[in-house]
Each structure stands twice: as C-alpha cells, then as structure tokens.
A = this chain, B = another copy of it.
C-alpha cells in the first residue's frame, strides 16, 4: 500500500494535457492543432496552450503548412526530435558498439570497434568513451540527455557490475556512473541480454508481444525477461544467469563444439551444405538451447522466445530443430523467432533504456 501524498491542483491538469498532446505529436508526426486536439481528446484551445508550452521547452516547432485543401491553411506543428539525444553503448568482451539516437529513437550515428578480450578495464572504458563521444561529436554539450551501457555479467539496479567473468577488471565497476560522466547526464547500465530483449520488444521480432523471453545463445548463454511489456531484471540483476544451472545444460554448448573440433561458423556452413555430422551437431546445440528455453517457458509462460547471440546466425537451421525439441518439453510451446537486430541489439536496447529515462523525467510522459 502506498500513500498518494501528491497534491492534485489544477496545474496537474495542464501537465496531463500537455503530456497527452506531446504523445500524440510524437506518434503522429507533424499535425495541425485540430488534429492534435481530436487525437488527444482535448479542445483545440487546450491543445494550443499545450503546444505553446512545448514550443517554449524546445520540444515542438511550427512546420510548413500543408499544400492544397480547402479553407484557411492550418498551422502545423512537429515534434523536435533533435532537441535532445541519447546514447547506447555495448561493451562486450570482444566488441564495443556505440550508438547515438535522437528523441524519436532514430539512430543517427554508430561506431563499432573490435577489441582484445584481455584488454584491461581502464583501457576498455577509454575506448568505449572514445567511440561514444565520437558518435556524439556533432551534438552540442548538454545535448545528450541520457546514456546506457550494456555488458555481459551481472549488473545491479544502480548500474554497478557485481559479477563479470568475461571481462578483466570489470567486477565492481560502477558502469552506469562512468557512462553518465562521459556526457554529464544520467547514466545507466544493464545486462546485455536484458537490453537485447528491450530492443527486440521495441522494434524487433517481439514488437507485438508483451510477454517474451530473449535467449542469448552462444559460447556464453544468457537471457532477458520481458513481462507485461516491462523488463524484469530481478533483485540483483542476476536474472539471466540461467547458464549457471547445470541441470539445464547450457554449459556444455562449448563441449559439443569442442568435440566436433570446428567452431560454430564452420559447423553451420557445413550443415547448410547438408553434411550429416554437422547437422547432428546443430541438432545437439538446438537440443541444449531448447532445454534452457524450456525452463524459461515453464517458469514464465511467454508468448514468444526470441533467439539471438552468436549461434542465431545459423537462422532457421537452428530454430527448426529447437522448435521441435521445445515442443516435446512444454505443455504450450510458445512461438520461437530469430532476433531482428544481430549485434546491434544491445546498443539499441541501451538507446531504448536511455529513452525510457528521458521520457519519464524530461518529457514527463
């Protein structure tokens, strides 16, 4: 039970209506006052007041009126997506990926960097900062309103890396705080699989689904949970460490491949060519994935499982057998889909998480 505590005077109405107008403006593109008012369920005058408010805050501006059409041409207004920016960075063991996006979430610039997996924390951070600030080179100081980093390992709610086995010197790092310092803005950090889930739900394979599970398949495993349209990171942020459950069988992925002697890419290649042995290896991988996924499915019963990560490059080759195995393990097997964004999903999820903050705090949505 929470107390309300907040006083509700008439100023709240103004805020609410401005918020509604802003939502409509963002979703519908450039619109006239009449259109805005109708869509937001307000009178034209109220919409006008809201637009004046937004214009003053730099979030709206007048656009060119529509050509043609009878009657007096209406003034049109558009959302100034360029009023602010957000940054998402994926800092992985072997790769750094930075993205700059505007307030619509449209990606403006990207930087990709391969790094050595033994690179120490300080230098890795410095490279990530370079990549991120380079992306934002054209953005004025203070123009980045929020930034989020994604990384492998356990990241707690405050943005601190509490455990990381894959990146040297990473454990204990206040990653969220670091990233915020780069742009003097609020900074966040989250587990990579969680961010990937966020991205897939935002614009990817899970666009139309509010209960889904993202499976990060590869030499390391992980997962992200999206329930009721919201990310569930768990108490310590360590949801996503399913790979640790020996019963589930994700740990022996690398064993399967090692036994074969080839790396994943080669095996997939051979399997695509129809080679028997490679197909058997792929089936074994699919079985392992299905075992892990089945635990997720039986626990949270999602509508969709999205498979991303390195192994997902095999595409339907892997998904087909995975569906078959999963069907045998669950009462109501959910749909299984490939990740839409490959490598970019983590940085894109970072963009989304930063946008979430901006929408909540600065746009007052």
Which residues of A does B touch, CB under 8 Å?
1, 3-10, 12-13, 16-17, 19-20, 23-24, 27, 39-42, 154, 163, 211, 223, 225, 227-228, 230, 232-242, 244-245, 247-249, 291, 294-296, 298-303, 329-332, 334
| B238→A301 contact, CB < 8 A | yes
Given contacts A227-B227, A242-B299, A245-B298, A331 and B154 within 8 Å (CB-CB):
yes
Please, which residues of chain B bring their CB within 8 A of the CB of A249?
Answer: 247
**Cα distance A234–B334 when bound, in Å?**
11
| A234→B24 contact, CB < 8 A | no
- Closest B residue by C-beta to A21: B4
Cross-interface CB contact of A8 among B1, B17, B27, B303, cutoff 8 Å? B17
**Cα distance A39–B42 when bound, in Å?**
32
Q: Top 6 A-B pairs ranked by shortest CB distance?
A: A234-B301, A239-B301, A7-B41, A4-B20, A299-B299, A8-B16
Please, which residues of chain B bring their CB within 8 A of the CB of A6?
Answer: 20, 41
28 A-B pairs within 8 Å (CB atoms) are namely A3-B40, A4-B24, A4-B41, A6-B41, A7-B42, A8-B13, A8-B17, A8-B41, A8-B42, A12-B13, A12-B16, A211-B235, A233-B301, A235-B301, A235-B334, A238-B301, A239-B299, A244-B330, A245-B294, A245-B295, A245-B329, A247-B247, A247-B291, A247-B295, A248-B295, A295-B299, A299-B299, A300-B300
In addition to A4-B20, A241-B331, 12 A-B residue pairs with Cβ atoms within 8 Å of each other are A1-B23, A4-B19, A6-B20, A9-B13, A12-B16, A13-B13, A232-B300, A234-B301, A234-B302, A239-B299, A247-B249, A300-B300
Closest Cβ of chain B to A358, distance in Å, is 15
| A331→B244 contact, CB < 8 A | yes
**Cα distance A235–B212 when bound, in Å?**
9
- Closest B residue by C-beta to A229: B2
**Cα distance A20–B3 when bound, in Å?**
8
**Cα distance A298–B163 when bound, in Å?**
15
Given contacts A13-B10, A13-B13, A241 and B4 within 8 Å (CB-CB):
no
- Closest B residue by C-beta to A26: B1
**Cα distance A300–B330 when bound, in Å?**
18
Cross-interface CB contact of A299 among B19, B39, B296, cutoff 8 Å? B296
